[in-house]
């Protein structure tokens, strides 16, 4: 059926389930653009930084967000957000739509966005976005804004809510670094732009509309961003709400392009979140402990470097997180890995710029040099999933002529083992909350989102 009908159908108020099926545009799934916070399209982009300085800033940001001190190597990171926020996506909220840029977090259980009620100004001014675009949602101008009572199911689906004086549902979220967001839980229509090029002959870009999404309408915000899209394994997260409201299922995937390729990555939902590339491996999710909140957790069984296998005495839980930069492992796993790598890689060693984070550095003019001497490294996860790692997943080009291992030990300050986003670069990573699995496959992620960054 002609895709040009999409707009008309949406105007008639027909929703999501009809949209992809009738238009044939989104093919049972959709993809949004995922932008790294340091890339040129991001409001946080600092053109004066070299790629290495951006890396270093990201690593420190990630480490600092875990509650430790936050050294600031180049004076560039004035807004430390948290350890878990590295990527943005656009959401359109309300009727008519307000387009907003929000941070994506696979460990957050709520979607919240900066809100204002008419002329009543928000408690803290939002940071100016690229292009000066409005970055606050004015609930008084939307016809689909829905209030939520404090005894209702949507209110109960959000952790830590309470009743305000008028018996509406209020929430307060605070983050490790002192950031916070509070306001009323409400419902709204959310519209997501599908990637361009998904359907030929479309006059408009296909969109996916989800009515009555429960979200936090944040009127008091101490946070360096306009909102968060939570994709956690929790009732109120976006992925659960899409699953409940549509036929797309509770699954999403992403493909993270190398950070300094300056191209966008893709965040996929529905059928497009199926990881079908050759060499895909699947591991079961395990119950996450309260220590890691709602993060997706799998089990590490072993790591192999060349023909050395390092096994832990017991299976060890590890979160898979796109917002953590380095990979954090138990010392008893990490130390033998470092030894095995040091034995195998014959390059001149270099002093570490921060020994507690980077235990193994080499003098090399880039990852290409390391690539030539890199021994095979394989991560074995629960269920026999063998994830083959490349040099770019294990090492980071940190400073001029310095390449360091992108794995750090779990410490009391940074207590959660995590597979970070360096390790996930150029992999299609799919989360299926119904099957309770995570699937990894090697992929060329620079091609995963079919357009250059479009922040216009
Ligand atoms: C927004 O402001 C109007 C006018 O002051 C008020 O009637 C309404 O209850 C407010 N809405 C919310 C959700 O606070
Ligand atoms: C594998 O292990 C043997 C010793 O058991 C060693 O001689 C050989 O060099 C190793 N091969 C590689 C590729 O590391």
35 in any annotated domain: yes
Of 231, 254, 271, which residue constitutes the final position of a domain?
271
229 lies in the same domain as 354: no
Of 255, 271, 287, which residue constitutes the final position of a domain?
271
Tell me the residue range of the domain where 335 lies: 276-443
pLDDT at 63: 65
285 lies in the same domain as 397: yes
Task: Report how far residue 275's alpha carbon sits from residue 255's, in angstroms, rounded to the nearest whole number.
Answer: 10
449 in any annotated domain: no
- Nearest of 33, 34, 77 to residue 55 by alpha carbon: 77
Give residue 188 CA to ligand 1 midpoint distance, Å: 15
245 lies in the same domain as 311: no
Q: Which atom of ligand 2 is nearest to the CA of 344?
A: 14
What does the DSSP assignment read for 318-360? EEE-TT--SEEE-HHHHHHHHHHHHHH--S-B---SSTTT---
Give the binding-site residues of ligand 1, using a 6 Å CB cut-off: 117-118, 139-140, 147
- Least distant ligand from the CA of 304: 2
- Least distant ligand from the CA of 164: 1
Give residue 282 CA to ligand 2 midpoint distance, Å: 29
Q: How many domains does the chain have?
A: 2
Q: Which atom of ligand 1 is nearest to the CA of 139?
A: 13
2 in any annotated domain: no
Give residue 92 CA to ligand 1 midpoint distance, Å: 21
Of 271, 291, 309, which residue constitutes the final position of a domain?
271
- Least distant ligand from the CA of 373: 2
pLDDT at 211: 95
246 lies in the same domain as 336: no
203 lies in the same domain as 62: yes
- Least distant ligand from the CA of 166: 1
454 in any annotated domain: no
Q: Would you say 60 and 408 are in contact if contact means Cβ atoms under 8 Å apart?
A: no
Pocket test for ligand 1, best of 113, 137, 140, 149 (most atoms within 8 A of CB): 140
261 lies in the same domain as 306: no
373 in any annotated domain: yes
- Nearest of 316, 299, 296 to residue 382 by alpha carbon: 299
267 lies in the same domain as 285: no
140 in any annotated domain: yes
257 lies in the same domain as 290: no
3 in any annotated domain: no
Give residue 169 CA to ligand 1 midpoint distance, Å: 14
pLDDT (tens digit per residue) in 356-414: 889 999 999 888 899 999 999 999 999 999 999 999 999 998 877 899 999 999 988 77
Residue closest by Cα to atom 11 of ligand 2: 307
Map tokens 């976006």 to a residue. Answer: 238
pLDDT along the chain (456 residues), means of 10: 37 39 57 84 78 74 49 28 69 94 89 88 48 73 97 94 96 82 96 77 77 96 89 93 93 90 88 95 87 83 95 88 90 95 96 89 91 94 97 89 93 86 96 97 91 46
329 in any annotated domain: yes
256 lies in the same domain as 310: no
422 lies in the same domain as 311: yes
287 lies in the same domain as 434: yes
CATH code at position 354: 2.40.70.10
Q: Which atom of ligand 1 is nearest to the CA of 117?
A: 1
Give the binding-site residues of ligand 2, using a 6 Å CB cut-off: 306-307
């Amino acid at each position: 059926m002609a895709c040009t009908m999409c707009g008309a159908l949406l105007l008639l108020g027909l929703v999501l389930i009809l949209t992809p099926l009738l238009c044939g545009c989104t093919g049972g799934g959709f993809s949004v653009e995922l932008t790294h916070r340091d890339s040129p399209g991001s409001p946080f982009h600092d053109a004066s930084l070299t790629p290495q300085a951006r890396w270093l800033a990201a690593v420190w940001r990630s480490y600092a967000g875990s509650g430790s001190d936050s050294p600031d190597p180049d004076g560039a990171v004035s807004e430390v957000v948290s350890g878990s926020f590295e990527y943005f996506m656009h959401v359109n909220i309300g009727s008519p739509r307000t387009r907003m840029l929000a941070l994506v977090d696979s460990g957050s259980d709520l979607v919240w966005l900066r809100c204002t009620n008419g002329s009543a100004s928000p408690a803290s001014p939002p940071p100016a976005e690229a292009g000066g675009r409005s970055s606050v949602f004015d609930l008084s101008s939307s016809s689909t804004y829905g209030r939520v009572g404090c005894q209702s199911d949507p209110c109960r689906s959000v952790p830590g809510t309470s009743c305000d004086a008028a018996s509406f549902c209020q929430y307060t979220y605070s983050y490790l670094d002192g950031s916070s967001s509070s306001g009323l839980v409400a419902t709204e229509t959310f519209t997501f732009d599908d990637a361009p090029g998904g359907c030929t002959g479309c006059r408009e870009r296909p969109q996916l509309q989800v009515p009555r999404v429960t979200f936090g309408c944040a009127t008091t915000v101490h946070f360096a961003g306009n909102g968060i899209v939570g994709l956690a394994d929790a009732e109120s997260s976006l992925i659960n709400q899409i699953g409940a409201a549509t036929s797309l299922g509770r699954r999403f995937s992403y493909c993270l392009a190398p950070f300094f390729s300056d191209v966008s990555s893709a965040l996929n939902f529905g059928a497009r979140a199926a990881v079908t590339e050759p060499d895909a491996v699947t591991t079961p999710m395990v119950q996450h402990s309260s220590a890691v909140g709602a993060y997706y957790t799998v089990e590490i069984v072993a790591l192999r470097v060349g023909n050395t296998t390092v096994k832990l005495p017991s299976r060890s839980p590890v979160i898979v997180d796109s917002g953590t930069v380095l990979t954090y492992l138990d010392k008893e796993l990490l130390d033998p890995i470092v030894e095995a790598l040091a034995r195998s890689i014959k390059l001149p060693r270099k002093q570490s710029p921060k020994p507690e984070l980077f235990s193994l550095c080499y003098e090399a003019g880039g990852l290409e040099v390391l690539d030539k001497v890199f021994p095979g490294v394989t991560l074995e996860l629960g269920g026999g999933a063998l994830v083959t790692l490349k040099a770019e997943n294990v090492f980071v080009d940190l400073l001029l002529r310095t390449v360091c291992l992108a794995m750090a030990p779990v410490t009391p300050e940074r207590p959660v083992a995590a597979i970070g986003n360096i390790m996930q670069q150029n992999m299609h990573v799919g989360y299926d909350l119904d099957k309770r699995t995570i699937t990894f496959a090697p992929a060329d992620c620079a091609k995963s989102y079919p357009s250059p960054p479009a922040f216009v």
